[in-house]
Amino acid sequence: MFTLSNDDLTAIRLSLQVAATATLISLPPGIAAAYFLAFAKMRGKALVEGLINLPLVLPPVVVGYLLLLLLGRNGWLGGMLADFNIRIIFTLTGAVIASSVVGFPLLVRSIRIGLEGIDQHCIQAARTLGAGWWDALLTIILPLSGRAILAGMTLMFARSLGEFGATIILAGNIPGVTQTIPLAIYQYTSIPGGDRMALSLCLVSISLSFVVLLASEAVNRTMSRN
């Protein structure tokens, strides 16, 4: 009764691939953005903050459409990339970009809370002990906010697994190329007799999310024990 077709397995693989890639490539800029929001003292910070958080409140479809306008063949950035023979729309890269943009605010929000919990004096102490800025970042700031970073990555990974609206507009719904689990479910629900297949994928989706939560909880517990 519980069966998965080859296309379904590909969709699962693509989902994991997109979510993992999006989370990993967003991590360094996510940490940088969180650091900026947590520690920078400058005018216009509120504007930057609003801009980073915008995808959180905008309908994903709107985000997807704006990305399409930007990265499409006639878009401002898309046109430039086309000169280098790089195409983003209707590719897996497009799916990764869509997930990254939508999940980014969640990642930044978590890391920022972690960074704000670090006492500035600890960083100052590290500096007076001979640690340069990068050294202090790697040996004090990141380890102390490790749990927050992990929480942010979990949220973003889970969000990316479920990303639908922006992905379908920017990357389309091409089986074997850009069709992730949510897109495959969407397709099954729109064909007659696809209910069972859709349900199978729903179960996969539920188990995946559950595994992500359990794994992150386990890592979190080990980190707090050390």
Partner 1 sequence: MLLEIDVEKRLGNFVCRIDCRLEAHSCGVFGPSGSGKTTLMNLLAGLMQPDRGRISLDGEALFDRQKGINVAPEKRRIGVVFQHAYLFEHLSVRNNLLYGLKRTPRELRTIDPEHLYGTLDLEHLLDRRVTRLSGGERQRVALGRAMLASPRLILLDEPLTGLDRALKFRIIPHLRTVFSEFSIPYLFISHSHQEMRLMTENVLIIERGSVERLSSSEELARSSIFSADRGYANFLELADRHDCGNLLTYRWGKNRLTGVKNTNAPEYATFSLNARDIVLFKRHPEASSARNILEATVRATQRTEWLVRVEMDCCGSTLIAEIVPQSMEELGIRAGAKIVAVFKASALHRLT
Per CB under 8 A, does 124 bind partner 1? yes
Kindly compute the dihedral angle of the four CA atoms of residues 26, 30, 32, 37, in this order, to the nearest 10 degrees: 160
CB of 146 to partner 1, least distance (A): 8
Largest Cα span, the chain: 69
Q: Which of 31, 37, 126, 183 binds partner 1 (CB under 8 A)?
A: 126
CB of 58 to partner 1, least distance (A): 37
Per CB under 8 A, does 132 bind partner 1? yes
Task: Name the residue with tokens 């969000």.
Answer: 159
According to CB under 8 A, which residues from 137 to 156 bind partner 1? 139-140, 143-144, 146
Q: Which of 3, 74, 85, 128 binds partner 1 (CB under 8 A)?
A: 128
The closest of 95, 108, 221, 78 to 167, measured between CA atoms, is 95
Residue type, 142: L
59: left (phi over 0), alpha (psi -120 to 50) or beta: beta
Q: Which of 51, 86, 129, 203 binds partner 1 (CB under 8 A)?
A: 129
Per CB under 8 A, does 131 bind partner 1? yes
Per CB under 8 A, does 117 bind partner 1? no
User: DSSP letter at 131?
Assistant: -
CB of 119 to partner 1, least distance (A): 6
Residue 212's CB: how many other CB atoms inside 10 A? Answer: 17
User: DSSP letter at 162?
Assistant: T
What b-and-e string marks burial along 45-73, b requiring 16 or more CB atoms within 10 Å of the CB? eeeebeebbebeebebeebbbbbbeebbe
Looking at the Cβ atoms of 54 and 131, the one nearer to partner 1 is 131
CB of 32 to partner 1, least distance (A): 21
CB of 40 to partner 1, least distance (A): 17
Q: Which of 116, 135, 195, 217 binds partner 1 (CB under 8 A)?
A: 135
Instruction: Name the residues that contact partner 1, by CB under 8 A.
Output: 119, 121-122, 124-132, 135, 139-140, 143-144, 146, 226
